[in-house]
Amino acid sequence: MLRIALIFILLHLITRPVLSQFSFERIFDVKVMKNDKVLSRAWEGGLNYPIFSNADIDGNGISDIIAFDKSGQRLIGFLNENLLFTPLNFNEDFIYGYDHKWMLFNDYNCDGHQDIFAGEANGITVFKNNGDFSFSDGIKIQAETELGIENIFVSSTDVPGIADVDGDGDIDILTFESSGSFIEFYENSSMDNSHSCGLSFTKKSNCWGQIKESDLNNTILFNQDCNASLNKTLGGVHAGSTITILDHNKDGRSDILLSDLTSNDLVLLTNSSAQEDKIISMDMNFPIYDKPISLNTFPYASLVDVNQNGKKDLLVSSNSESGDNTTILWYENKEGGDGKDKFYFQHDRFLVGDMLDFGFASYPIFIDENQDGLMDLLVGNHNNIKDGSKSSSFCLLRNVGTLNQPAFEVIDEDYLHFSTTDEHYLYPAIGDIDNDGDDDLLIGLENGKVLYYHNQAEQNQPYDFILASGNFEGIDVGKYAAPTLFDVNEDGAIDLLLGNESGSLTYFENQSTIGYDFTVKQSNWGNISTQEIDRGYFYGFSTPFLFEHDSSIHLLVGGASGKIQFYYDIKKEDPSGFELDHANFCTKDGGYSKPVMYDLNNDGFLELVNGSLSGGLAYYQGIAPNYRSSLNVQKTIDYQIHGEVILVQNPEVQSIKIIDFRGRTLQYSTGPSIIAPKSRGTYIMLIQLGDEFIPRAFIK
C-alpha cells in the first residue's frame, strides 16, 4: 500500500497528461537570480498565511514539515533534511468538501501516524491517517459538556491548542469559548475509559489556567474564579485568538503562547508547577531574552522541529488576511544548559526568502521587454502587505538565458512605480493595441476598468510606456478586470477578452485594423464560468489566456478554485457555448490560478507558468505527450541494494533514472545498475524496458 501511494505522489511530479497534444513536467531548476543570489526555491509557489506541522509524509522515518496555507487551502510538504518541496494533492472531496480554516497534524490514536485536525464551521473535524499518508473521511469532534453532547466550539478566526495538556498520553484541546474571554479545557478521556487513545472528550474547565483575556486586547487577568459562572461575560464579540501549547520550562506542565487579532505580538503564559493548572506569569515581550516577536497582524506560532535536531522551534506567520503576507519568522530552539526552551530569532522570511513571492496572488504574462528575442516575465499582484502597509506592484523578470535554456533575473520589483498609488490589484495584458508595430500594455483594475499604457519606444528598443488612457474605451466589467489580447477572429486586428469577479468572460471585438475600436462586445462569451457554487466558490475570478498551436486557437481559463479550464480549438466552436475539454488542465496547486504558455526552450513543446493566490509561480516544462502513456505502474521488477549500488534483476534494462520528491532527476545510468543517492529520503526509480518505463519507489 505504501509503495502504491508513493508512486502515485511521485508520478504526478514526473508528468501530467492533459490532452493528446500537451503534457507537462513540473520542474524547479530554471535559474532565477535576485540581488546577485540564486533563488533556490524560485518556483515553489509562495506562501501567504501558513500553519506548520511535523509529519512523516514519505514513510522513511524522518519527520517532515507540512504547511497549510489558508490562501487557497493549499497543502505543501517540505521533506527530509533539505526541506524538499512537494505539493500534497489530495482528492477533491477532501479539499473542497470541507471549508478548512486551519489544519494541524497530530497523532490522536497513538499509531505513530500524524492525523489531521482541521477547523470547520465552528468546530473541529479529524481525518485519520491510514498509515500511507492517505486519510479517512472526516469525523466531527464532540464532547460531553454540562449541556450534554456538543460539538467543540472553535471560532472561525481562532486556532486552538491541540496537544497532550494533562500528560496522560492522549490529545487534549484548549480553545476559547464563544465570547473569547475564557479558555475551555476539553480533556481526552480515552485512555482513562478504554486504556487506548481515541477521541472521547469531556469539558473539564470553563476557564483553564484561571485566566481571562481582555475584551479589547491580549491583556491577561489572573486568578479568575472558575467556579463562579457569573464571572463569564458571555455574549461579547469575539475578535480572534490563537493558542500554541508548549512546555517551555520543562516542568511537565502545559504553558501556552497566546495571540490576539488586535495585536502584533505573542504572550507567553507560564503554568504553575503544582498539580492545578494556574497561570502564574506572563511575558508580554516574548521572547524577552532575544528579539521579541512582532508581526502585523495576529501572529500564530507553529511549534515544529525545523532542522530535525529533536527540538521544537517556532515558525510565526500571520493568521489574518490583512496581515503581512510575505513574512515568516523562524525562532530556533537553542536549549540552555538547564534543558529549558530558548527561542532565538534566525530569519524573517523562512522558505519564502528563496522563492518568487509577490504577496497575495500573482498574475504573470510573457513579454519581450528589452526586445532581445527572449521572453521575459511581468508579474502583477493583488497586494503585498509589509508591516501593515498594503501596496500593489509589477515585478519584471528578465530572461537572461538563451533561446534553448531560459534563466531569469529580477530586474525591477516596482516596474512602472505603482506601489505608491492607491491601486490594490494590477492585472497585465500585452499586445500591439494601436497597430504601430510594438507592444502596448493594458492593466486590469479592481474596479473593473482598464488602464492603457502606450509604448513610445523606438523600434527594437526596450519598452517605454506612458499612460494614454485612465479609462480605456469606457470598459467596465464589474470588478477585478482580467484582460488578455489576441486576434480571436483572425482579421488582423487584436481583440480583447476580459475575465472578472463573477467568473464569466466578456469579448470585445476590435472593429479597426489601423488602430483600435473595442465598442462591440459579447458578454458571457462561450458561456464559460469559473464559479463552483457547490464547492463554495461563489465568485469565479476568471483569468483567460488564448494561444495558437498547430494552426488552432485554444483557450485556458483560470479561476478562484485553482483549476485551469481548457477549451480546445475554439474556432470550431459556437461562441454562445464552448465545449469544456478539460476541467483541470494542469495539477492544481492553490487557488486563483493564472496560466500563461510559451515555448521557452525552443523544443517545440509549450511551457506553462501558473500564478496562484499564494503569490508565487509554478513552472511546468512541456514534454512529449506520449511519455506518460508508456509508464506501467502494474508491472513489478525486483532489485537489490549492494552498498551504494542498486542492481535491477533484469538483464534487459536499458536505462534507470532516480527521481526525488520534487520530480528532479538525481542519477541516470544505462544498463541494470545505478549509484544510490547519498542523502536519506524516499525516491523513485524509473526503469526502462523496451518501450515501457516501470516505476519503483524505495526508501534509503
Please report which confidence band the pLDDT of residue 253 belongs to, taking 50, 70 and 90 as the band edges.
very high
Helical (H) or strand (E) element with 33: strand 32-34
User: What's the rounded Cα separation, in Å, for the pair 623 and 606?
Assistant: 8
Q: Which residues pair with 175 in a beta bridge?
A: 184
CB 46 within 8 A of CB 355: yes
Q: What are all long-range contacts of 437-444, with beta carbons under 8 Å and residues at least 24 apart?
A: 439/367, 439/368, 439/463, 440/465, 440/468, 441/465, 442/472, 442/483, 442/485, 442/496, 443/380, 443/483, 444/480, 444/481, 444/482, 444/483, 444/498
Main-chain dihedrals φ then ψ at residue 194, nearest 5 degrees: -130, 0
Mean pLDDT of 545-557: 95
What is the model's pLDDT at position 486?
A: 97
In this chain, the answer to whether the domains covering 102-347 and 639-699 adopt an identical fold is: no
Quote the CATH superfamily of domain 360-623. Answer: Glycosyl hydrolase domain; family 43 (2.115.10.20)
Identity of the amino acid at 260: D
Task: Tell me which of 295-304, 436-445, 588-597 is least confident.
Answer: 588-597
- In this predicted structure, what is the pLDDT of residue 15? 44
pTM of the full structure:
0.88
User: What per-residue confidence (pLDDT) applies to 183?
Assistant: 96
Q: What is the pLDDT of residue 274?
A: 85
The C-alpha cell that represents 593 in the structure block: 490560478
The CATH architecture of the domain made up of 102-347 is 5 Propeller (2.115)
Q: Is the pLDDT of residue 17 over 60?
A: no
pLDDT cut 90: percent of the chain above it? 68
Look at strands 389-391 and 408-415 and give their pairing. unpaired
Q: In what order do the strands lie in the sheet with 594-598?
A: 16-19, 22-27, 617-623, 607-611, 594-598
Measured CA distances, 526 to 395, 592, 665 (Å): 32, 20, 41
Q: Are 682 and 655 in contact (CB under 8 A)?
A: no
Which region among 35-49, 144-158, 668-682 has the lowest average model confidence (pLDDT)? 668-682
Per-residue pLDDT reduced to its tens digit, 24-51: 888 999 999 999 999 999 999 999 999 9
Q: Give the highest mean pLDDT range of 2-6, 412-416, 536-540.
A: 412-416
Percent of the chain with pLDDT over 70: 92
Q: Is the pLDDT of residue 52 over 60?
A: yes
Predicted pLDDT of residue 233: 46
3-state secondary structure of 651: coil
377-387 mean pLDDT:
96
Q: Which three cell numbers stand for residue 226?
A: 472558575
Looking at domain 639-699, which CATH architecture does it have? Sandwich (2.60)
DSSP, collapsed to helix, strand or coil, labels residue 421 as coil
Torsions phi, psi for 570 (to 5 deg): -70, -10
What is the arithmetic mean of pLDDT over 60-70? Answer: 93
- Mean residue pLDDT of the chain comes to 90
Q: Which three cell numbers stand for residue 541?
A: 475570478
Half-sphere exposure (Cβ direction) of 291: Cα atoms closer than 13 Å: 11
Q: How confident is the model at residue 5 (pLDDT cuts 50, 70, 90)?
A: very low
Question: Using 50, 70 and 90 to split pLDDT, how confident is the model at 396?
Answer: very high
Q: Give the tens place of pLDDT for each residue, 206-235.
A: 999 999 988 777 789 999 887 654 444 444
Q: Where do the structural domains in the chain lie, given as residue ranges?
A: 102-347, 360-623, 639-699
pLDDT per residue as tens digits for the range 287-329:
999 999 999 999 999 999 999 999 999 999 999 999 999 999 9
pLDDT band (50, 70, 90) for residue 599: very high
- Separation between Cα atoms, residue 317 and residue 299, nearest integer Å: 5
Q: pLDDT band at 663, cuts 50/70/90? A: low
- pLDDT for position 679: 74
Kindly list the distances between the CA atom of residue 419 and the CA atoms of 176, 321, 385, in Å, as whole numbers in the listed order.
39, 19, 11
**What secondary structure does DSSP assign to 199-260, as a single string?**
--EEEEESSGGG-EE-SSSS-EE-S--TT-GGG--TT-----EEEEEE-TT-SSS-EEEEEE
- The upper half-sphere exposure of residue 163, i.e. CA atoms within 13 Å in the direction of its Cβ, equals 19
Average pLDDT over residues 12-18: 45
| pLDDT value at 369 more than 60 | yes
